[in-house]
Structure formats: structure tokens, C-alpha cells
Amino acid sequence: MKTSDLFQKKTVLSFEIFPPKPTADESVIYETLNGLANLQPDFISVTYGAGGGKNGSKTIQIASDIKHQYGIESIAHLPCISLSEQQAIEILDSLQTNGIENILALRGDISPDTKPNGRFCHASDLISFIHERYDFNIIAACYPEGHSESNNMIDDINFLKYKVSCGVSHLITQLFLDNDDFYRFRERAEIAGIHVPIEAGIMPVTNKVQIERMVKLCGIKLPKKFMKMMERYENNPTALRDAGIAYAIDQIVDLISHDADGIHLYTMNNPYVAKKIYEAVHRLLAVHR
């Protein structure tokens, strides 16, 4: 199923997972999936190592297993910055052979570990390439606080509009901790003429290292309310986890009340956290919009 078909019926709930590290025990991901599958999300997306490197075969395998073994729709992420045209074709052919219908097409982060190939400089280059040659449903990323490299929000929205026009059927946001950023962004997108569903990306912050990494990588803003919570519980891991779950639930309830098209939960491969959130919100998601 193409994930774009899901949004007409209900507020979508989806999960994101990442493949295990090359050195890790591969079976762990299936324990994670057993826990997540019980929650019957609308789809699960699988990240792809920065730069579109060789470990992508795990992304393809896991996305295929989610769909064919667990009977849940899947999305395979695909960052393009390091890919040649030939490599992109090989990966896309493999996704097609594995019966995967949905791709989250990304540029990928630019870092010392990623060597740009020069063929695909922006996600829109990959999206046009896929759209012209294949029948995949294409999803893309967006940034309620603006992308960290962007000069300003106007440029960012204009580039996003172009990206969507290349063949995108729905958008998923980067995590944000202040819903007002999401509402402002959604309004700007609407005014700019971007009319595809926008799923709100929510990350339950359950430890300090995790959020410090995200601030460094994505430059997201930490609201006062959130900082207060971190200060109070940072030395008590169980209390911090519970507070992080409660913060995410509070965000999600507010987003559903404000008619968000969907909630994309960055699960960090943690079924316990996903289950707690699911139990708190799943009946609210089912109420017709």
C-alpha cells in the first residue's frame, strides 16, 4: 500500500526505527519489531546510514520483513548525497524486487564521513529521478524550525515547495519540542501552496545524551518547559524516562486536537516507550477528524 492512501481515513500513527550497527546482534531488531508490531502502527519507516552507504542492504531487508513478515506497511529511507546514478538504480531496483512501495527520499547530512558524489545534491534531485523512472510512493523530510543550513524560513519553504512538486505525496517533520513551531510551519506551508499531508515527528526524550546529540546535529530549540524537566530529573534515569514519555504524550494530544495529519514517533528502537505512548493516545487517533 502507498502510505499516501492512509491519511484520508484517520490521524496516522507511524514509527521510525534504525537498523542495528554492523557489530550488533541482528536478532535484536526483530525483538524490537515484535514489540512494535503489537501496537499496529499504520507504517514503520527504517532509516538508512548517512550518505547512503553499503549498510543500506539492512534497511532494505528490514523494510521488506516489516511488510511481508509482520504485515505492516513500511517505508525505506534513502539518503542520496553520496550516491552515483548507478548506485541509486541498484538500490531502487533492489527495493522494487523486495516489494517495497514507499521511499523517504533524503539528501543526507553532510559530514566528514560523507563524500558528496555530485549527482544528487538535494533530495529534490533524487525525487525527480525516482518519479521519472519508477512507481514508488515518495515521501520527504521537512523542518518546522527551518533546516539548520537554511538562510531563512522563506527560502526553506520555497525549496520545500519545489521538492514536493517533484513528486512527493507526504511529508514527515524533524522532531520539535514546541508545537507552536509546527503550527506556524504548517500555516506557512499551506500559504505557500504545499497541500500534501504533514506528519509531525515526535521524539520522546528519555535521556540527556540523546537530546544533546539532536541539538548538535539538527539545531532544534529546547523550550523552557522542557529544560525545567531535564534539570529536575537529569540524575534520575527512570524519572527522566517517565517525564520524557509524559512530555511526548502532552505534545501528541495537543497535535491531535489541532488536526495534525499524523504522528511519526521516533521510537529509538524502544518498544517500552512506544507502548506507553500508544496506550495513552491510540483511542484519540481513531476519533474521526
Catalytic annotation, residues: 16
Task: Compute the least distance from the CB of residue 182 to ligand FAD, in Å.
Answer: 13
Residue closest to 204 by CA, chosen among 224, 225, 229, 177: 177
Residue 221 or residue 228: which is nearer to ligand FAD going by CB?
221
Count other Cβ atoms within 10 Å, centred on residue 219.
Answer: 14
Closer to ligand FAD at the Cβ: 89 or 218?
218
Tell me which residues touch ligand FAD (CB under 6 A): 47-48, 50, 77, 79, 104, 106-109, 122-124, 141, 147, 149-150, 155-156, 159, 163, 172, 174, 201
For cell 519540542, what's the residue?
A: 177
CB 173 within 8 A of CB 199: yes
Q: Which is nearer to ligand FAD, 156 or 178 (CB)?
A: 156
Residue 162 Cβ, how far from ligand FAD at the closest point, in Å? Answer: 6
> Smallest distance from the beta carbon of 194 to ligand FAD, in angstroms?
13
The b-or-e profile of 132-142 (16+ CB within 10 A means b, else e) is eeeebbbbbbb
Of the pair 108, 167, the CB lying nearest ligand FAD is at 108
Half-sphere exposure of 219 (CA within 13 A, CB side): 9
**CB 236 to ligand FAD: min, Å:** 30
Tell me how many degrees the CA angle 26-213-121 measures, rounded to the nearest 5. 80
